[in-house]
Amino acid sequence: MGQQLTMTPQLQQAIRLLQLSTLDLQQEIQEALESNPMLERQEEGDDFDNADPMADNVEAKPAADVQEPTYQESSTTTVDNLEDGEWGDSERIPNELPVDTAWEDIYQTSASSLPSNDDDEWDFTTRTSAGESLQSHLLWQLNLAPMSDTDRLIAVTLIDCINNQGYLDESLEELLDAFDPELDIELDEIEAVLHRIQQFEPAGVGARTLSECLLLQLRQLPVKTKWLAEAQRLVSDYIDLLGSRDYAQLMRRMKIKEDDLRQVIELVQSLNPRPGSQIESTEAEYVVPDVIVRKDNERWLVELNQEAVPRLRVNPQYAGFVRRADTSADNTFMRNQLQEARWFIKSLQSRNETLMKVATQIVEHQRGFLEYGDEAMKPLVLHDIAEAVGMHESTISRVTTQKFMHTPRGIYELKYFFSSHVSTSEGGECSSTAIRAIIKKLVAAENQKKPLSDSKIAGLLEAQGIQVARRTVAKYRESLGIAPSSERKRLM
């Protein structure tokens, strides 16, 4: 004899749906709609009763006697009502609304997204074309260039060896060894073709080093560009000193003053060290929020995004065909499909209820962030929310993964609101998110000629009552993408 935990298929389905993102859930719902004839979408304005021939103590009846569950009913929660244990009522929309539009305002003969005559900033390609790879962009320019067959073969090979940043990965000698000896290709021919590719757009593409990349871009600037010769000399001979920000050595070797050096560096910094990044080959990824948080009359309201996931219902006509005492294969199939449809709808309802409870507790705990920003973020861990809603921490982890909240301050993943804490001198706690925000603020306001070191930042935090070690400051600074003080030094 022994004890073991058995997960029913319904529980497994509920857990699987709970951890899906909105986009994955939409795909799951679409697959369920295609495989189960009992499920169908409920459009806006549809309101009907469904028969429930499978219910206990109920005989087979017409389709209008029993109400089937409907997935994703409108739900809005007011954070102020949490202490009373009440969940806010749904906002009901009347059946008929006053009409304040004309027929031609709704049914237009032309697409409303097209630009007007005076819209100079409208770009057709950015709204209609798919992402283009750097290789396809270079090959398109190659097709327009007059070139022999051998040179074209070399050019195609070179373009294949250019990475997404725009640099040539292989050396010319390695490329020469890769060609068939019968073609009788020489190293000078490969280098000549490379120079032609380096004249393509974007400027600087096909370079082998950073110095060559910047030089290619400087050569395409007008000859009368101020400080052009000094910039070319800087990136050609002293690129290492520029990378280490040894400005004193640069002024001494280039024999120019500090103000002149600053203008030369500004010209170099206007260039793109990764020219290939200008060609975006991937489609834009859009985040669909699961929860919407808004402020109404000094109260924070939490509501599900009703447009993110379609509403589902059981088809009343098919459900009415199910007969209780019939054991035929067709009736058994419809009975099973009806039960699976109900389980699926119930799992979606459970997912929404859990998501609403967790999101509401997060908003209740992080009101300071919604009001004042990152510096007011409070420490929060999964255990705090799990204890508040009466669920396990693993469930809270599933709910907060790949789920997003739309707030007046932007769209954030639910996990963003969780952070560890650091003790303060007054016995309180400060979240790591708030400390990162303070570090970012200190660095933004620092003297760029004498940037703050990690030890200095730790001292400034300690002056505010936040006890943070230097190595912790370094970890938070690196997570923010902020370079060390030696690399942040600038000429004033």
| Class at the top of the CATH hierarchy for domain 419-488 | mainly alpha
Helices and strands, counts by H and E, the chain: 22, 9
Quote the pLDDT of residue 280: 64
Quote the pLDDT of residue 22: 81
SS3 of 429, please?
A: strand
| Cβ neighbourhood burial of 139 (10 Å; 0-12, 13-18, 19+) | middle
Quote the pLDDT of residue 446: 81
Quote the pLDDT of residue 491: 57
Quote the pLDDT of residue 59: 39
Quote the pLDDT of residue 368: 86
Whole-prediction pTM? 0.61
pLDDT digits (tens, 9 = 90+) for 344-385: 888 888 888 889 999 999 998 888 888 888 888 888 888 888
Quote the pLDDT of residue 45: 56
| Cβ neighbourhood burial of 217 (10 Å; 0-12, 13-18, 19+) | buried
CA distance 369 to 377: 5
Tokens at 114, concatenated? 């097209």
Q: Are 151 and 142 a contacting pair, CB within 8 Å?
A: no
- Which portions of the chain are predicted below pLDDT 50? 48-74, 83-119, 122-129, 492
Q: How far apart are the first and last CA of the chain?
A: 79
Residue spans per domain, the chain: 9-69+296-412, 131-282, 419-488
Closest among 307, 225, 309 to 271, alpha carbons compared:
225
Q: Are 314 and 345 a contacting pair, CB within 8 Å?
A: yes
Beta-ladder partners of 40: 313
